[in-house]
Amino acid sequence: MKLPHTFTKQAIIRRSVRIDDNAGSADFPYNNTGRPLMKLLRWALCFLLALTLLVAIALQFAPDIEPWPIAPEVPPAKPGEVSLTFLGTSTLLITDGKTHLLTDGYFSRVSIPRLFTPISPNRERIDEALALAGIDALDAIPVLHSHFDHVMDSGIVAQITGAQVLGSSSTAMVARGSGLEEKRITTVQTHHPYRFGDFTLYFVPAGHVPLPGIIENWTGKGEITEPVTPPSLLGAWEEGQSYGLVVEHPAGTILIQGSAGMQPGELDRYQADYALLASASLGKQSEAYQQAFMDETASAVGAHTVIPVHWDDFFRKLEPDVRPLPWMLDNLDASFHALADRHHGDFVVLKPFRPFTLTPPAAPATAPLPQGQSPVSPAPAAPPPGASDDANN
C-alpha cells in the first residue's frame, strides 16, 4: 500500500530538519530556551561544589602553637593554692581544692557544617570532658556571655555537678530552657561580690570583639527574652550582656575576659595578678583597638602574667593537643602578638587538661625595726556599724 506523502521517510526527515531550523523562533511552539538555563544551573552547582571543597581543605590548615611559651606540667597544687585548668574556649576550671568554679562550661563544640542546622548540647562530649578534667562537683558556673560557644552547655553541666549558674538575664533564659531549677539560677549585678568559699567573684561590664556584620547577625547580638529549648538555630543563643570576671582569692586574683572586648574604665577599681584574655579575632582589629584592649584589661588591673584563652579550634572535639583555630578563621600569631607585645610581663599558653598553679601574691615588705625594739601586734580594729560577711550563694 502506498503511504501518503506526509508519512513517507523523506517527508519525516524534511520535517525534522525544519523543526531544528525553527527551534526557538517566535512562530514555532517548541523551543530550547530552557537549555541555557539548565547549563547555567549546572555551572553554578559545580562552582558551589568546588567552593565547598576549597573551604573544607582550607579549614584543615592551622597555625602551630608550639613556638609560643607553653606552661610546663607542674605537681598538684598544695592545700590552699589555686590552680587553673584550661578546657577550651573560655572554659576554665578554678579550684583551691575545696571550692570549684567553672567558667562557661562549653564542651559540645559543634562542627561548622552543623551550625547551619538546629543544634543542641552533646551529652557524650560533656560527660567525657568532665571525666577527663576530673570534675564531678562544682560550686558555681559563672557565664561570660550568652553565645552558643559559652552558654549552651552551662545548664546541663550545672545539673550534672550541682552548680549554681550565674550570668546575665540572657544566660538565665538559657539555663531555664535546659531544665535547671530556678533556685540554682542567679541573674547577676555588676560589681557586686558573689562569694563561694574563699573565692569572691565580680562581674564587670565588658564588650564583645567586633565581628563582620553578617556574622554578628547570624550569631545574635541582642538579648534572649524567652527560654532557649534545644535543638534550636544558632541565633537563638544571642550575646546578651558580656562580662569580664574578676576572681579574688587569698592565693591570687585573676581577670578573665571571655571575648576580646572591653568597656573603658570598668576595671580601674580592681587589681589582678593574672589576666586571662580571649585572643580570637583580636589580630584582625586595628592597632589602636589592640592597644585600647590591653590598656583596659591587663594594664588596668596591673597583671604580671597574661594567659590567652579562646584561641583553640572550638569546632572540633576537645583534646589535650587541641589545635588553634584554622588560618581561614583567625590569625593566631597576630592575635598573640597583640597581647604579648603590649604586655611588660610574662606571657604563657595553657594546654587543655593541664593544671597551672597560681603563684601567691608576695607579702608586703615591712621596714626593719630599730635595734632593741620588739614587734607589737596592733589591736584589732572595731568593725564599722552594721558590717557583716556576705553569705555564700
Is residue 300 within 8 A of residue 271, CB to CB? The reply is no
- Directed axis angle between helix 123-133 and helix 154-161, to 10°? 50
Q: Which amino acid is at 284?
A: K
pLDDT of residue 43: 79
Report residue 29 as a C-alpha cell.
511552539
- The whole-model pTM stands at 0.81
Report residue 132 as a C-alpha cell.
577527663
Other CB atoms within 10 Å distance of the CB of residue 278: 26
pLDDT of residue 4: 53
Is residue 373 within 8 A of residue 96, CB to CB? The reply is no
For the chain, domains (ranges, CATH) are 81-353 (3.60.15.10)
What string of pLDDT tens digits covers the 393 residues of the chain?
555 555 455 554 455 545 444 444 445 444 556 677 887 887 777 777 766 666 566 566 679 999 999 999 989 899 999 999 999 999 999 999 999 999 999 999 999 999 999 999 999 999 999 999 999 999 999 999 999 999 999 999 999 999 999 999 999 999 999 999 999 999 999 999 999 999 999 999 999 999 999 999 999 999 999 999 999 999 999 999 999 999 999 999 999 999 999 999 999 999 999 999 999 999 999 999 999 999 999 999 999 999 999 999 999 999 999 999 998 899 999 999 999 999 999 999 999 999 999 998 765 555 454 555 444 433 343 443 333 344 444
Residue with cell 552551662: 154
**How many whole angstroms from its chain centre is CA 33?**
51
pLDDT of residue 381: 39
Residue with cell 593554692: 81
Other CB atoms within 10 Å distance of the CB of residue 187: 15
Q: Which residues contact 183 (CB under 8 A, 6 or more apart)?
A: none
pLDDT of residue 392: 44
SS (H, E, C) the chain: CCCCHHHCHHHHHHHHHHHHHHCCCCCCCCCCCHHHHHHHHHHHHHHHHHHHHHHHHHCCCCCCCCCCCECCCCCCCCCCCCEEEECCCCCEEEECCCCEEECCCCCCCCCCHHHHCCECCCHHHHHHHHHHHCCCCCCEEECCCCCHHHHCCHHHHHHHHCCEEEECHHHHHHHHHCCCCHHHEEECCCCCCEEECCEEEEEEECCCCCCCHHHHHHHCCCCCCCCCCCCECHHHCCCCCCEEEEEECCCCCEEEECCCCCCCCCCCCCCCCEEEEECCCHHHCCHHHHHHHHHCCHHHHCCCEEEEECCECCCCCCCCCCCECCCCCCCHHHHHHHHHCCCCCEECECCCCCCEECCCCCCCCCCCCCCCCCCCCCCCCCCCCCCCCCCCC
Q: Does the N-terminal peptide bond of residue 36 adopt cis geometry, omega within 30 degrees of 0?
A: no
Report residue 279 as a C-alpha cell.
585572643
Cα separation of 123 and 104, whole Å?
A: 16
